[in-house]
Amino acid sequence: MTLKIHAFPLSPRAFKVLLVANQLGVGYEFCLCDLTKGAQKTDTFTALNPNQKMPALEDGDFKLWESNAIIQYLAAKTPEAGLWPPDQKAQADILRWMFWESTTWDPAIATLVFERVVKGLFGGGAADPIEVEKGLQKFSRGAAILNDHLRGRDHVCGDKLSLADFALAADLIMAAQAQLPLEPYTEVRRWSARMAELPAWKETLAMQQASAAAA
């Protein structure tokens, strides 16, 4: 098997990549990049991603980092699965939401995950109330936009699942632990609950739980 995914499944960015790979049914070797043990800082991993961050992918000699680039590569490699449609406007629509995810939605959620979950896990001290407040403001702006967009829709783009759904929903995997204030955003909750019903979501969740148990 030439395809390798280096990931720490507890991270939403890793969850995103593993989720899409599982949804697509691409065969891959899962390589644990254990952030708790500093695996991202080793020479071998740094050669794979000089940013020393996971997730990262290897496909033979080809190396790729950035979770959205990785899922686009996997989906384009498996066009029959329908997550990367051939139509240019459909692709642009999906890319718009994937860029929005990496510039707006992910940073808002990551601030709250970092302050309320990661700091505790890695001995980083208590959540900083100023950072939490900034995160909450960014989150509510983003959640309102996504909520309005999802009204009357089952999917973020067009009438079927796309990479946009996976990229955006994966960020919510730690919603409970990070106490994301999702209550007012009924459309986001309806859509994300449906995403969580996907067999690939459950499969990825099981990988995440196994990795948490082993840590």
- In the complex with ligand GSH, the residue whose CB is nearer, 11 or 147, is 11
Q: Is 24 or 54 the residue whose CB approaches ligand GSH more closely?
A: 54
Q: Residue 91, class by beta-carbon neighbours within 10 Å (0-12 exposed, 13-18 middle, 19+ buried)?
A: middle
- 12-24 helix and 199-214 helix, angle to the nearest 10 degrees: 130
Query: Is the CB of 52 or the CB of 177 nearer to ligand GSH?
Result: 52
The rounded distance, in Å, linking the Cα atoms of 55 and 36 is 14
Please name which of 56, 10, 27 lies closest in space to residue 210, comparing C-alpha atoms: 10
Angle at CA 108, nearest 5°, toward 105 and 112?
A: 135
Pairing of strands 62-65, 3-7: unpaired
Site residues for ligand GSH per CB under 6 A: 11, 13, 35, 40, 52-55, 66-67, 102
Q: Which is nearer to ligand GSH, 54 or 127 (by Cβ)? A: 54
What's the rounded Cα separation, in Å, for the pair 59 and 3?
Answer: 4
Nearer to ligand GSH, 118 or 189 (CB): 118
CB of 172 to ligand GSH, least distance (A): 14
